[in-house]
A and B are shown apart, each in its own frame.
Chain A
């Protein structure tokens, strides 16, 4: 064996034999979670479609559902990175209320323009994210405590600056961010661009694998990898266009999610977050500056909260003192339903976004059915616990 092992070609074939057998099994277990989630989502959709005589699946409602997903989804992208690093942020609901309140106030009371009010929301989010991150990273105060304090304090600040009143938005352009749609032809054009990008990325990847002497994907594999996402993209845009076009908040969510996925999968920053959450000591001894990364991830969360605040406020058309109450829990639930571990080191952006869609589907479907408010809360709570329970159960067996 040792003689053979010296021969690289033979060896790599030996590996790829084992690799194929093992990979099939691995893909089963790793993808099982994603599949389970997608199936669970489809089951829930099926139930609602049946209960509402198909109203749930009409283009108008799906468009609405997607728009509802946007705010939770954007928050879930940030929350996922926080959770992967082994932390938590309970303050995002209150912070969203504050950033939205500030954006509304500066245009209503001070008469600021569009870009200034957008920037004000983003800066409020970023500054507070940085403050909380610094307390966690450099003073070692547990994130749970810092952001629990934030949950209370920032809500207090919102009530203070709005004096308890609802502030209307005066800029129509601002409202448009939450309420308007991408013109159907523009949506289609973007879809075509996305399809080209998918194909190009796959070809690049194949070239890179060949350059590094690794096994290149086969023709059918390439075809599946290009056709499947392309069909999803085009189908989605056509569906949205059949109502009014892709809602702007959904476009923002997609961009945020793509960037988030890129950060977590393709940057050293993202990889270090997983390492820190997986084993902080090992990460530190590997030369990773833990504090800097924790600070950065809280800054990112703050910035994303600012973006979510803009969309939330624009969609509602005004900033009320209790805007965003309990949104942090939706975001955390989305991550956890999407397979993230609160112990850190585990979770994906894709899963978190699916989780957000799942939560929004429950809200949307139950509202269509006129399910009473309190029952909605009970159902959502039970499903969250059941999802994690199921995950723990399947993990122990696997």
Chain B
């Protein structure tokens, strides 16, 4: 066994994005027939590692070596990786909804004769593949008629049609029912007996322990450890995931929370696509003057949806009541929310926060433009003065306010979004993943700003997938799991392990009495 080359070996993989070292010398290996779980917090580098493996970041955009059965591979693109027997099933499924199951399985590789698709052949082979997976499905069915779970299985069938020997599954069960999860696991075990190696990425530790042979933990772009699953337990894995000392990065801060500024009661949000599903289920919370309320939870727990819904920007049906400074307010859109003093630094600054090819200045003043304008006529000089002051206060590093915001680093872009919302002089500020994808130095500056704002009396609601961030900055922490409040912790009471158990739905918070 020892002298045999593993199916896959990734040696010392390094991947650097502008300003961020996403992977820092990660080593990882996979044996034939093995299910190897890859776990870590959001941003630990799991997805980046898989993108390197899948040829999304072609050679030599990364450092290190990829070996398959002992031979070094240098993929110049996704096609190369596929040809080498690697198939990745990403969280966002990549099926064409308007096509049939069979068409999807063979998309781009349809059996052809003289350039004409041989449909009987295609559907015959699709049928054989489905039968092989024990999937009772007609390959002529349009994919849009299938549930998410079945679509996931079609992706696997598609991967197998490539004769994939290495199958990567990125959070495959997030959208599945329990029965569907069982079917999936059965299929994965069957594939394992056939010698397919699988990399299984999941936040759900129950699944990881039920399924995997070995576990590798990543944190901050580094391998923390690899061990056989039976030698590990949940507590040990969680400790490896959270690891670092919280106190070091977060400056101590004196805060004196005052009266309640903002309160949300019974917020319930329906999934616009599936009306029977609740993304947020009866969530209530409040935040005081000068207080930071952290909202923790895993991906899909409903954190962003909660904030979006309160802000009047969610597509689905929303129920619940919102109070600002004790008065009930009606919010039918972002304009109402802004008028009532809510600021919202949204997640994904490139998609929701910024107009990338416009200047720093027009981005900064976008949400508050009518303040610097009389009767709809703008005053550019007043804007410039305001913008330059904001640049100084937030230490935004840009040549001037007319620099195109797309040319700035992630940290400075994030500060521009922050400036945009501070210029609306909010009473409560929502921050959704305010440090996603920015380097450590910029993160610390954002943390310092959050502390400064809280000390000046701003009420802040902080959503973050990075547990240390929530623990280090918040006065209170609310933990969501599948749209519900699973627990509430005070600063000092919360340990990473306790919050993580809550977030994975494993345990409710002990101090449930503390819930208001």
Contact = CB atoms under 8 A, between A and B. Distances in A.
A26 B366 CA distance: 22
Interface stretch (A155-163, A181-189, A262-270, A326-334): A262-270
A18 interface: yes
Interface size class of B (residues with CB under 8 A): 35 or more
A18 B400 contact: yes
A186 B381 CA distance: 35
Interface string A269-302: 1011011001101111111110000000000000
Contact of B351 (A212, A278, A281, A346): A281
Nearest to A346: B357
Interface size class of A (residues with CB under 8 A): 35 or more
A381 B391 CA distance: 46
Interface in B329-387: 333-335, 337-339, 344, 346, 351-358, 362, 366-367, 369-370, 373, 376-382, 384-385
Interface string A247-275: 00000000000000000001111011011
A110 interface: no
A310 to B, nearest CB: 27
B313 interface: yes
A279 B402 contact: no
Contacts of B230: none
A214 B392 contact: no
B337 A287 contact: yes
Interface in A6-26: 8, 11-12, 15, 18-19, 21-23, 26
A356 to B, nearest CB: 24
A287 B354 contact: no
A208 interface: yes
A275 B344 contact: no
A278 B357 CA distance: 8
A219 interface: no
A146 B116 CA distance: 37
Nearest to B404: A26
Contacts of B357: 278, 345-346
B358 A267 contact: no
B385 A214 contact: yes
Contact of A279 (B337, B355, B367): B355
A278 B384 contact: no
Contact of A271 (B346, B353, B362): B362
Contacts of B339: 287
B121 interface: no
A315 B20 CA distance: 63
A225 interface: no
Contact of A345 (B335, B355, B369, B400): B355
A269 B352 CA distance: 20
Nearest to B358: A278
B270 interface: no
A18 B399 contact: yes
B515 interface: no
Counting chain B CB atoms within 10 Å of each CB, the highest count among A26, A271, A282, A289 belongs to A282
B382 A19 contact: no
A209 interface: yes
A22 B355 contact: no
Contacts of A5: 392, 395
Interface string B62-106: 000000000000000000000000000000000000000000000
A212 B362 contact: no
Contacts of A165: none
A212 B334 contact: no
Interface string B384-415: 11001001100100011011000000000000
Contact of B381 (A11, A18, A209, A275): A209
A267 B400 CA distance: 22
Contacts of A12: 388
Contacts of B346: 285
B420 interface: yes
Interface in A226-263: none
Given A269-B376, A285-B334, 20 more contacts: A5-B395, A8-B392, A18-B400, A23-B402, A208-B382, A266-B377, A267-B377, A268-B370, A268-B373, A274-B358, A275-B362, A279-B351, A282-B351, A283-B366, A285-B313, A286-B338, A287-B367, A288-B366, A345-B355, A345-B358
